[in-house]
Structure formats: C-alpha cells, structure tokens
A and B are shown apart, each in its own frame.
Chain A
C-alpha cells in the first residue's frame, strides 16, 4: 500500500537530497566527469556579488509583497464579511488571477508595464503625469514585480481570511460591544489575534514562494535592469542550465534553502501568538 510512496520518496526525495550534498563539493557540467573541489564552491559563493544581490532583491520583493498582501487581503475579507449580495461573485472574481498561469499574468502585466505602449503609462499620461519606467529602472523594477505578484495571489488570502473571520464566534463581538468596545478595539483585540494563525500561514507561504520567484523575472526582465530583479531561483537556473555549473548551482540551492528555513523560523517566532 505504502510501497509506491516509498519508491517515490527514495527516487525523488532521498536520492536528490543526497546527490545534492555530494554535488556541492564538486565541479560538473554533466558532459565531462565530476571533479572534486572541496569547499571551493562555498568560497566562490562568499565572493559572489550576484548571490548577495539576489538575496537583497528577494528581501525587497518580500518587504513589499508580504505587507501589501496582508493588508489588501484582510481589507477585502473584512469588507466581504458581512451580509452583502453577490459575495460569491466578488470572491470568484478576486480569485481568478490565482488559478490562471503565472505566464499569463506575466504577459498581461508586461503589456501593462510597457514604457511606450503600456496601459499604466497611458493612464498616467491622461492624468497629465509623466510615464514611469516600470521595468526599466533598477529601483522600480522589483517593486513592480512585487505588486504584480500580490495581484496574482491575494485572492487565496482573501479566501483564507474570510474563512478565518467566519469562524470567530459572534458571542465574542457581542460581549465586547456590551462592554462598550469600539469597532476598532474589537478589531485589534478580538479579530486580529484570532486571525493570527492565518497571518502566520500567509507570511510563511509567501516567503517560501517569494524565494522561489522565477517565471516573472525570467519573462519580464531577464533578471535586469542591472540584476535588480535577479531572484534566487533564477540565479540557480542560470548557473545550472545556462552555464552548466551543476556543483555551484547545487551549492546555491542548499544555501538558499537553509536561509529560507532560518527566515521562516524567525518569522514564526516573531509573529506567532497564542490566542488568549
């Protein structure tokens, strides 16, 4: 019964992990035999400006994406959490970007962000404002991608928050109102703490997803301008498949994975609270 999974595990989990660890100490381009190089991959990593740039880029991305996502998702969930007509329809529309492929979203936003022909700059032009170099300026590109990623994923989190909000027992709010608490107080002392698990889930999932950002920079900017949208995953792809540096790419993979785990651990420590 469990045999299929065991086979799968050995082949696609255990073996890759072990091989990954072995690869880290070698230099290999698949075609010629592997060469042992000890810790050279790590030495290289420490000197590699692109590695640090990719980390910085990911931080910029997450720094904008996560708060934006939480605020927008929570906002819409709160709005939807009332007796309103067409809630199902709204929910369905907000969720639409989620089911569609990232490639579609990327192409769509590529057109919208286009400097000469894009819809966004057309709107700005109509308002009498100058065009923004959305994907062409090193300072704007990554934030632009973060906004796009938020647009794509926020639907899931609206749904999650909504589900979470609806499990909050009415009595708590009743009791608070009787005690004279304003809606704002109710929100901060009842709603938010009870939503804490959902928030943690969103932060953790978004972080892991953010480190895995690939198709958006790959299609939109190729990692530019000036490597400002080079994500970790994209860098691994370049090193492994473009330059055929299997050993170094494996090293990058392991280091990024460790960083992700550390970041998530810290986040949980910081954000997670037991609801009283």
Chain B
C-alpha cells in the first residue's frame, strides 16, 4: 500500500515536471485556436507556427551563433581551467596559496557588481556586437579551476615526477598525462560550461544589438517581448520548442553525465 502511494506521488511528480514540455511541443504544432487546451491531441497538426517563427527571426543563424559561442567558451574553460588547476595543484610557486584563496573569493562576487563595468569594458574595447564580446568574459571560470585542482590533487605525485625526469615540459605533462586520466572532471566541466553558456541570456542582451549576432535564447526573448510574434501564441511555443530542442536532445543522450556532474559538484561545493 505504502509502495503504491509512493509510486503514485512519484508519477504525479513526473507528470508535473515533464508534461508541460510535452504540451509545449504539441502546442507548437497545433493551430492557434486549440492552444488553450490541455491535451496533446489535435485533428489539425500544422507547421504554421514554425513558418511564422522562421520567417520573422533568423533563428537558424542564432542557433549557429549559440553553437559557436558555447563551443568556444567550453574549450577555453576546459583548456585554461585545467592549466590553472594543474598549476595550483602540482606546481610549486610563490603565492599559489594566496592565489587560490583569491579565486575562491571571486566565486562569491555576485554578478550585480560586475555587470555594468564589464559592459563598459566591452564598449571601450569595441567588442560589442562581436563574438569576442560574448565569449571573453566567460572564457575562464573560477569554479572550473577549483574542480580541476580538486581532481588533480588526487593524481599520484609519482607519475608526474617520473614524467619530469623524462624531460617532459609542464604543458606536455598536462595534456599527455593528466588529461587522459581526468575524463570525469573534464566531462563534468564541459557539460556544465556548455549548458550555462548556451542558456545565458542577460549578457548577450547587453552586448549584442545586431540581430545577425544574437544567440538563440536572446533572439527568442526579443521575439517574445518585442511583439514580433504579434500575439500569435503558437509561434511563441514554436520558438520555445526550437530553443529547448538542442538541449533536450543532448540531455536525452548524456542525461547521466548531466545529473552526475551536478551532483558531484554540489557535494563538493
């Protein structure tokens, strides 16, 4: 009996958390009049909402932009984050302890303080309306450095010493020796970075005004509040579906990694 109740609640939960997405996807294929309905069924599935979205906003281009920005950010964070993490974990240099504390400190700085001056910096450098402006401020992440350092501390010093004796440079050690051993943390950082970067919308709203450079969440946001949809509810659902689609697909494949990475960082955080 108790078990039935347990399953019952869990299933209700699943419906509450997952059904809205199904409704959204179904709604994007339904004609305007049926959108208020709860069910997923329709007699007249149609692509008209999608037509509207594609004709009004350059969403394909935005997808590309998001892809470029997110990939570049992820590569950068993994690359430079692992470098810094390694340096802090295994290289002895003056001030490494102090630097680490400083990095921890920066993780606590709320975005509110940094928002305006970072924007001004972009303006001064002329990086507004450019990929550089979108990528640069997120190229490194203190969080990733902490994760990498944590992981690298567990790698046996012996391995590293052996490599050094063989005459390997530090960079070689990092890429040839440590990276292959670090799959879990690299995957974790990569997934977290990619997801955060993909979903980021406040920063692009500030830095990019040119439609051809907008990221996907940004363009969908402006479509929603800018009246481009002309109160056509179906097109809003279509835009949202398009925006969610890549992430949901990635999630379907890598779902375990997503959840595990969140869990592991949470415990350490």
Contact = CB atoms under 8 A, between A and B. Distances in A.
Interface of A: 1-2, 4-5, 8-9, 11-13, 15-17, 19-20, 23, 30, 76, 79-80, 82, 84, 88-104, 106-108, 110-112, 114, 117-119, 122-123, 151, 155-156, 159-160, 162-164, 198, 201, 205, 208, 211-212, 214-215, 218-219, 222, 232-233, 236-237, 240-241, 246, 249-250, 252-254, 256-257, 260-261
A111 B236 contact: yes
11 contacts: A11-B121, A12-B121, A12-B136, A89-B14, A94-B13, A96-B17, A101-B247, A103-B201, A159-B259, A250-B117, A253-B115
Contacts of A100: 21, 199, 244, 247-248
B7 interface: yes
Interface pairs A-B: 3 shortest CB-CB: A16-B117, A1-B87, A107-B240
Nearest to B2: A82
B88 interface: yes
Nearest to A106: B224
Interface of B: 3, 6-7, 9-10, 13-14, 16-18, 20-21, 23-24, 27, 35-38, 80, 83-84, 86-88, 91, 93, 99, 102-103, 106, 108-121, 123, 136-137, 139-140, 145, 170-171, 174, 195, 198-199, 201-202, 206, 217, 220-221, 224-225, 233, 236-237, 239-240, 243-244, 247-248, 250-251, 255-256, 258-259, 262-263, 266-267, 269
A151 B199 CA distance: 17
Given A8-B139, A96-B17, A253 B262 contact: no
Contacts of A205: 269
A1 B83 contact: yes
Nearest to A154: B17
A94 to B, nearest CB: 5
Contact of B18 (A1, A96, A103): A96
A122 B91 contact: no
Given A13-B114, A101-B198, A104-B24, 14 more contacts: A1-B84, A1-B91, A1-B170, A9-B102, A12-B136, A20-B113, A95-B259, A95-B262, A96-B251, A99-B248, A101-B247, A103-B201, A103-B240, A212-B110
Contacts of A112: 20
A93 B199 contact: no
B112 A4 contact: no
B7 A103 contact: no
Q: Binding site of B, secondary structure by majority: helix, strand, loop or mixed?
A: helix
Contacts of B120: 19, 23, 30, 246
A212 B108 CA distance: 13
Given A8-B139, A111-B233, A159-B266, A211 B112 contact: yes
B224 A107 contact: yes
A256 B110 contact: yes
B115 A261 contact: no
Contacts of A240: 115-116, 119
Contacts of B236: 107, 110-111
Nearest to B27: A111
Contacts of A106: 224
A218 B86 CA distance: 40
Contacts of B224: 103, 106-107, 110, 219
Q: Binding site of A, secondary structure by majority: helix, strand, loop or mixed?
A: helix
B106 A9 contact: yes
B33 to A, nearest CB: 10
B83 A4 contact: yes
Contact of B225 (A11, A99, A222): A222
A249 B119 CA distance: 12
Contacts of A1: 83-84, 86-87, 91, 170-171, 174
Contacts of A155: 17
Contacts of A212: 110-112
A17 B38 contact: no
Nearest to A198: B266
Contacts of A104: 24, 220, 240, 243-244
A96 B225 contact: no
Contacts of A96: 17-18, 21, 248, 251
A75 B155 CA distance: 38
Given A4-B80, A160-B263, A99 B117 contact: no
Contacts of A164: 267
B167 to A, nearest CB: 17
Contacts of A249: 116
A97 B115 CA distance: 26
Given A101-B198, A218-B225, A256 B112 contact: yes
